[in-house]
Structure 1
Amino acid sequence: MDSRAEGTEVDGERIADPATDTFVAHRPLLFTVAYEMLGSAADAEDVLQETWLRWVEVDLARVLDHRAFLVRITTRQALNRLRAMKRRRETYVGPWLPEPLATTPDVAQAVELAESVSMAMMLVLETLSPTERAVFVLREVFDVGYEDIAAAVGKNAASVRQIAHRARKHVDARRPRKAVSATETRAALESFQRVLETGDLQGLLDVLAPEVVLVGDGGGIRRAARRPTVGADKVARFMIGALGKNDVPPSFAPTSVNGSPALLVRRGGEIDGVLAAHVSDGRITGLYYVRNPEKLHRVESETPLTLR
């Protein structure tokens, strides 16, 4: 958002500007929409800038529902960017993971929101086409009406209903089957942290589910496996080896990322990465290790997210 969004000041006093006030009021929602569609906070911010530039040209007197109109603009801009990002990701080095966000406590408490921005769900959304993802996010996450979605994605309402059904079926077949409490995830991560710090291989095997999958994202900048690692023994040995291959031992700090407990990994005081996890029946079934430094700018300052 450029300087015009800050409002106008006369003699040191800010003059109310309806366009600016409305945009600022809905900004957390618009950011959440863009982030869920893109999986990138940096790209979501660019989308908001583009949305703002179009919003200030709108005749507000002719807009019945400001929130719906802003969501429509945001969706269009995010959809355009998502199509371009899909092409860029074909040349991405190694697995791609969403940009992790340190989130406020209220996100973890809002179960629906926390699930929708979890690493596991964001990876499922990556398997949808851009239009399917936009329709699914707007309908299933933000409960936007079919007519409004149709206007946002450039389809008719009947087509949007079909796309929504197809996307829902696709996601349901791949999403985690069981909702897990933050308490259970935190307990599993605490155990995981303890055995990592001691290098206890057997202890690590006890924490990991037999079918656990580790996905690492170094973006070609930092060392990470070029493909997912599957199986408790392989994941345990990889984690102990990877975290030990340095003169400076790593330290771990509990944090909250994308609405779920996670671990912030540091070496020598510098952020090395973020470890998020999916837990089932008290054991870790999925590990997501983001090391790409270009994706670690929002892991210490909380980002407000909302569905409303």
Structure 2
Amino acid sequence: MVEQDWLSERFAEHQDRLRAVAYRMLGSPGEAEDAMQEAWLRVSRADTGQVENPGGWLTTIVARVCLNMLEARRSRREESAGALPPEPADQHASIHPVGEAGPEDEALLADSVGVALTVVLDTLTPAERLAFVLHDVFAVSFGEIGAIMDRSPAAARQLASRARRRVQGAAGASDAARSPRREIVAAFLAASRDGDFNALLELLDPDAVVGEVRGARAVADFFAGRAQAARLALVDGVPAAVWSHRGRPEALFTFAIDDGKITSITIDRDPDRLRDLDIVYLRATGGERR
């Protein structure tokens, strides 16, 4: 009973950091809470006789739980490859105690890892994600990270370095996701879905062109009430729209914009070109890479 009390006290002492590790590793407040509960089950059954650094020991347990969850998530995605990313659930309830993020948690996540990281993390392997987050966000040594994954410190360093390069490469995409061009494309898609002819006219240059359709009024008429299934995306880092069927891109809409007005829209249906595109589906606060 004394040992159980000691474990409870240590877990409570470090739970804020442990929850932050789980949240940043998994990117989902609900999954982070699941990881915390699983970690506590493991902790409560563990032999603590050799524990000299409770904080490090607890971090290792939480990290291993998260690694297992990431690997399971990746397996599920591979089994359902091609499925379009679901729209994000509302994440504006309290993270304490049941595990959905409140505004302060969302702000903390954004400050710590940045928009670019939230976009690219899901494209990393579980091992890359663990190495990067633990080292670059929480300053865990490569020796400790290697021990968590049963790899050498050098291997852990390589994993973090590879992940870091991909995150840095996503920074440009993150800037594009917040650009005026993105807002214009998003507004065009919304007006098209709503059949708002006047809003479309406001966004189009008087001489706008879509294939053989010429002139703002003709283009607005062509798109009014359409684009119901098209989604805002970054395509090779540029704001665009993508229409997919059963998770497979079927059409790419690219926009030429001059002085805040859409001058032309190109529709590409070539499957070979679409197959090679790097597509990040955007939402109000970030993106999801296919």
Which of 114, 118, 143 is residue 147 of structure 1 equivalent to?
143
Whole-Å separation in 2 of the counterparts to 1:148 and 1:160:
9
**2:113 match:** 116
2:162 corresponds to 1:166: yes
Residue in 1 that maps onto 2:32: 44
State whether structure 2 residue 52 is matched by structure 1 residue 54: no
TM-score normalized by the length of structure 1: 0.53
With over 3 angstroms needed to count, the CA separation of the structure-2 counterparts of 1:177 and 1:20, relative to structure 1, is same
Instruction: Using the TM superposition, name which of 121-130 and 225-234 deviates more.
Output: 225-234
Sort the Cα spacing of 1:74 and 1:63 in 2 relative to 1 into closer, same or farther, 3 A.
Answer: same
Bigger radius of gyration, 1 or 2? 2
Aligned to 1:262: none
- Show the counterpart of 1:291: none
Residue matched to 1:212: 239
Q: Relative to total residues, which structure has the larger helix share, 1 or 2?
A: 2
CA deviations on 1:248-286 (whole Å, 9 max, x unpaired) are xxxxxxxxxxxxxxxxxxxxxxxxxx94245xxxxxxxx
Counterpart secondary structure, 1:76 = helix
Please say if residues 113 and 141 of structure 1, whose CA atoms lie closer than 8 Å, have aligned partners that are also in contact.
Answer: no
Q: Per the alignment, do residues 172 and 204 of structure 1 end up closer, same or farther by CA in structure 2, a change over 3 Å counting?
A: same
* Cα RMSD, aligned residues only: 4.7
Percent same amino acid at aligned positions? Answer: 29
Q: Any idea what the Cα deviations from partners look like across 1:28-87, whole Å, max 9, x if unmatched?
A: 433332333334444333322221111113344642332221111111122122222212
* Secondary structure in 2 matching 1:175: helix
| CA 1:130–1:225: 2 relative to 1, 3 Å | closer
Instruction: Give the aligned partner of residue 276 of structure 1.
Output: 284
Task: Give the conservation status (yes or no) of the 8 Å contact 1:212–1:230.
Answer: no
Partner of 1:96: 85
Structure 1 position 139, deviation (Å): 0.9
The equivalent of 1:302 in structure 2 is: none
2:278 match: none
Cα distance per residue 1:223-262 (max 9 Å; x no partner): 997549754659x9xxxxxxxxxxxxxxxxxxxxxxxxxx
Residue number in structure 2 paired with 1:128 = 124
* Aligned mates of 1:125, 1:231 — CA distance in 2: 26
Please name the residue that 2:20 is paired with: 32
Which structure 2 segments of 5+ residues have no match?
A: 93-100, 206-232, 257-261, 263-281
Which SS does the other structure have where 1:212 is aligned? Answer: strand
How do 1:194-273 and structure 2 match up within 5 A? 199=196, 200-202=199-201, 211-213=238-240, 227=249, 231=253
Structure 1 gap segments, 5+ residues each: 1-6, 9-15, 218-222, 237-273, 279-286, 289-308
Matched position secondary structure for 2:284: strand
- CA–CA distance in 1 between the matches of 2:254 and 2:128? 34
Q: Structure 1 residues 231 and 163, CA, compared in 2 at 3 Å: closer, same or farther?
A: same
Query: Which contiguous aligned blocks of 4+ residues in structure 1 show a shift greater than 6 angstroms?
Result: 177-180
Q: What is the distance in 1 between the residues matched to 2:163 and 2:86? A: 20
